[in-house]
């Protein structure tokens, strides 16, 4: 299995690469459209603004191959921004169209809640029983690390992998055939995060 981590020039990917090395899964960076042809599983981690990220991916020629990868149903692991961009749009960047793989919109946390924005630090992921292959070996709930000001409003509840509350309840991860995506950062979530990465790769590698 060849693992590729999407690099569009934003954010530090070293911690993600190190996390995969820690579980014995070497990953190469995907920096050019032709790199998609050399991998089996695509990982899209990231931090940054929704709109800026779409613009950069278009400028680097990575947007269309990314869309094609997802349209073909090839194995995909999304982290933080790599989760949010799966949706149709975001309140962070009005008018910018996302990948549209998952029905729904990315919303901003309500400042009127009195909670600090961004949502930063440890919170719990409450796992869905039907997605146990992804969280095998982890307690339910599991403490994981978040850094975000926006959260996806998922229309299809059946996709839910886990749920989190931060002033509002939201689906903090989804899973379906050949796709796992989470709002939190497994690479910053210590041993629990490494276990989740191991499980996610096993699920994405599984053959019918």
Residue 89 token pair: 């749009």
Nearest Cα neighbor of 26 from 41, 12, 11 is 41
Beta carbons within 8 Å of 207's beta carbon, 6+ residues apart: none
CA distance 125 to 67: 28
CA distance 35 to 50: 23
The tokens 């998609």 sit on which residue?
36
Residue 34 known to be catalytic:
no
DSSP labels, 103-151? SEEEEE--GGG---SSEEEEEEEEE-GGGTTTSTTS-SSEEEEEEESEE
Residue 185 known to be catalytic:
yes
Residue tagged active-site, from 34, 185, 191, 205: 185
Residue tagged active-site, from 34, 91, 187, 205: 187
Residue tagged active-site, from 80, 128, 148, 162: 80
What residues pair up with 142 in beta bridges, in sequence order? 125
Active site residues: 80, 185, 187
């Amino acid at each position: 299995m060849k693992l590729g981590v999407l690099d569009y020039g934003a954010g530090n990917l070293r911690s993600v690469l190190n996390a995969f090395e820690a579980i014995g899964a070497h990953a190469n960076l995907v920096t050019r459209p032709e790199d998609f042809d050399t991998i089996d599983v695509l990982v899209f981690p990231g931090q940054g603004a929704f709109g800026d990220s779409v613009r950069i991916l278009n400028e680097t020629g990575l947007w269309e191959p990314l869309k094609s990868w997802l349209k073909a149903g090839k194995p995909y692991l999304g982290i933080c921004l790599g989760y949010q961009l799966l949706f149709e749009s975001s309140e962070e960047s009005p008018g910018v169209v996302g990948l549209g793989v998952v029905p729904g919109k990315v919303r901003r946390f309500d400042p009127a809640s009195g909670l600090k924005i961004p949502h930063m630090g440890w919170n719990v992921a409450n796992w869905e029983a039907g997605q146990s292959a992804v969280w095998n070996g982890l307690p339910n709930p599991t403490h994981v690390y978040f850094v975000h000001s926006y959260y996806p409003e998922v229309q299809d509840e059946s996709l839910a992998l886990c749920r989190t509350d931060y002033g509002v309840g939201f689906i903090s991860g989804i899973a379906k055939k050949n796709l796992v995506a989470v709002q939190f950062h497994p690479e910053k979530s210590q041993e629990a995060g490494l276990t989740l990465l191991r499980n996610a790769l096993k699920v994405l590698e599984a053959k019918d």
